[in-house]
A and B are shown apart, each in its own frame.
Chain A
Amino acid sequence: MSDTVLSLDAVEKVFPNGVRGLAPVDLTVRAGEFVSLIGPSGCGKSTLLKLIANLHGPSAGSLRWWGSDFRGVGQKGRRLAFVFQDATLMPWANVGRNVRLPLDLMGVDRASGDARARTALARVGLGHAAERYPAQLSGGMRMRVSIARALVTEPDLLLMDEPFGALDEFTRNRLDEEMARLCYQDGLTTLFVTHALHEAAFLSSNVMVMAAHPGRIHARYAIDRTIVRDEAFRLSERFAEISRELAVLLEAASHESHLAAEMQT
C-alpha cells in the first residue's frame, strides 16, 4: 500500500451543465507502473487527467497522493509532470532553457538547473542538442525535449495526454520504446492517455479500458511487467494476443457507450 502514488476513490464529476462526465471511478497507480487510459471519445479520459492535474475538483469522492488527501498535500507537494499532444516548447528559447523552464518557475538556481537539464536531456538521447532551437528540430526530437522537460522535475508521476498522436508511425514506435525504457528500467511512474490500441498494448503494465455516457472504467487489463518492450516484442505472438484481447474489450466498451448514449436520448 505504501507504494501507491495515486489513488482515486469513487471519484465523480458532474459538470455545471448537469452532464455526468465521470461515474464513480476507482483507480490506483503504484510506483513504477505504466497505466494507460484508452476508450472512445467522451469516455472521460481528459476529465480524469484534469482532475489528477488539479485543474478542476471532483464532484464527489477523493483523490489521494501517497495516501494523503489531495487538498491536504497542495500543489507544491504533488510532484507531477505533464506532456501534451504538442511539444509546447518556447520557440524563442534553446532546448536547454526549455527543459529548465519548470525549475526556473520553481525558483531553482541557474547552475543546478542547467546541470539537471543536461541530465534530463541525456536520458532522452538529446545530450548534444541543448544549444539548438525548437525550429531546428524534427517533431520527434521536439517531443523528446518535452519529455526531458517533464523528467527534469524528477516527478513521482508523469501524466501524458495522447503525446505521440501527431507523429509518424516510425518516430512514434521509437518514442514508445524510449518511454518503456524510462518506465521499466528507470522506474518512472506514468499515466498515459491514448487513442492507439497498439501503443497501450506495447507500453502498459495496466490498461484501463473506459466507456462513455457517463465516463467510467469498463475493464482493467494487466500485462506482465517483466516483458522486455522492444522491437522483437512488437512482432511477437504475445503482443498480437494482447492487442487482440484489448481490441475485444475496447469494442465492448464502445458498444456499451453507444447503447448508453441511445438510452439517454
Chain B
Amino acid sequence: MRSAQAISILAPVLLGIVVLALWQGACRLWHIPPYLMPSPSDIAAALWHDGPALLHALLSTLEVTFAALAAAVIGGVLVAFLLVQSPLIERCLMPYVVIMQVTPIVAIAPLIIILVKTTPVALTLCAALIAIFPVISNTLQGLRSVDPDLAAYFRMYKASRLQTLFRLRVPSALPMFMAGLRIATGLSLVGAVVAEFVAGTGGNSAGLAYEILQSGFQMDIPRMFAALFLITVAGLALYGATAGLQRAVLRHRA
C-alpha cells in the first residue's frame, strides 16, 4: 500500500523531469530562439527576474478570484434555496439560470465592463457569473437528495420546517455542495483571468492576464510562460485547498 502510494507520487514527478529535460535539450540542440519557444531555464530565469512584479499581478488576480468565489457561493446557495422552495418558483427561474449558463460569459464581458464603472467590481462580476452555475445546480441537487426514510422519520416526529432544513436538508446537501464548490473554485480563477483579458486593465491593479498580454506584445515569451506557470501553481493550490476542505467536511461519511 505504502509503495503504491509512493509510485503514484513519484511516477508523475519523474515524467515531469524527463519532459523538462527533453524540452531543455531540444531547445539547446536546435538553437530555438527564446521568442519562439523558451527553454525551461529561460522561463526559470524570467520567473526569478520578474518574480516580484508577477507575484503582485498574481495577488491582484487572486483577489478577484476569491471575491468572485465568495459572491458565487453566497449567490448560488441563495438561488438554490429559493428554487427548492416551490416548484412554481423553480419553473419560473430555471430557464433563466440555464440561459445564463449557456451564454458564454466572455461574450458579454465587454458589456459588463462598459456597464460597471469600477473595474475590480466588473471583473469580479464576470468571474462570479462563470462560477455560479455549479454552485446553484449542485446545491439544488443536494437539497433534494434527502434520504426519503429519514425524511419520513422527521415527519413522524413532527419536526418543524426549520428543524427539517438545518438538521436534515442542509447536512444532506453538503456532499453535493462541496463538489460544486470545488468546480466553482477552478472556474473563479478561469473567470478572473478571462475577465482580465477582456478588460485589459493595466496599472497598479493589473492581473496576470494583463502581464501575459503585455509579454506577448513585447515578444517577452519567457515572461509569458512564467506568468502561465504562476497561474497554474495558483490553480493547483486552490484545487488542493478545496479538495482538503471537502475531505475535512465529509470525513465521517462513507
User: Footprint of B on A, CB under 8 Å?
Assistant: 53, 55, 75-76, 82, 84, 86, 88, 90-94, 101-102, 104-106, 133-136
Contacts and interface: CB of A to CB of B under 8 A. Distances in A.
Given A75-B158, A105-B159, A92 B153 contact: no
Contacts of B174: 92
Nearest to A80: B156
Contact of B150 (A75, A76, A90): A90
Contact of B252 (A75, A91, A104, A106): A91
Contacts of A102: 157
A57 to B, nearest CB: 15
Contact of A105 (B149, B163, B252): B163
Contacts of A106: 157
Contacts of B168: 90
B117 interface: no
Contact of B167 (A88, A94, A104, A136): A104
Given A75-B158, A104-B167, A82 B153 contact: yes
A104 B166 CA distance: 12
Contacts of A92: 171, 174, 252-253
The main secondary structure of chain B at its interface with chain A is: helix
B147 A88 contact: yes
A133 B149 contact: no
A245 to B, nearest CB: 35
A117 B8 CA distance: 45
The 7 A-B residue pairs whose C-beta atoms are closest, nearest first, are A135-B254, A133-B252, A88-B149, A105-B157, A92-B171, A91-B253, A105-B159
A82 B171 CA distance: 22
A196 B163 CA distance: 37
A79 B233 CA distance: 59
A62 B72 CA distance: 55
Contacts of A88: 147, 149-150, 153
B171 A90 contact: yes
B253 A53 contact: no
Interface residues of B, number: 17
Nearest to B254: A135
B23 interface: no
Contacts of A53: 156
A52 to B, nearest CB: 12
Given A92-B174, A94-B252, A86 B159 contact: no
B154 interface: yes
Interface string B176-206: 0000000000000000000000000000000
A160 B253 CA distance: 26
Interface in B227-253: 252-253
Q: Identify which of B154, B156, B174 gathers the most chain A CB atoms within 10 Å of its CB.
A: B156
A199 B150 CA distance: 26
15 contacts: A82-B153, A88-B147, A88-B149, A90-B150, A91-B253, A101-B153, A102-B157, A105-B157, A105-B158, A106-B157, A133-B252, A134-B254, A135-B253, A135-B254, A136-B252
A177 to B, nearest CB: 26
Contacts of A90: 150, 167-168, 171
A189 to B, nearest CB: 18
Contact of A84 (B149, B154, B163, B254): B149
B105 to A, nearest CB: 34
A26 B253 CA distance: 45
B143 to A, nearest CB: 14
Nearest to B159: A105
Contacts of B154: 105
Given A75-B158, A105-B158, A135 B252 contact: yes
Interface string B207-241: 00000000000000000000000000000000000
B81 to A, nearest CB: 19
Contacts of A86: 149
A134 B171 CA distance: 15
A56 to B, nearest CB: 12
Contacts of B153: 82, 84, 88, 101
Contacts of A133: 252-253
Nearest to A93: B171
Contacts of B167: 90, 101, 104-105
Contacts of B163: 104-105
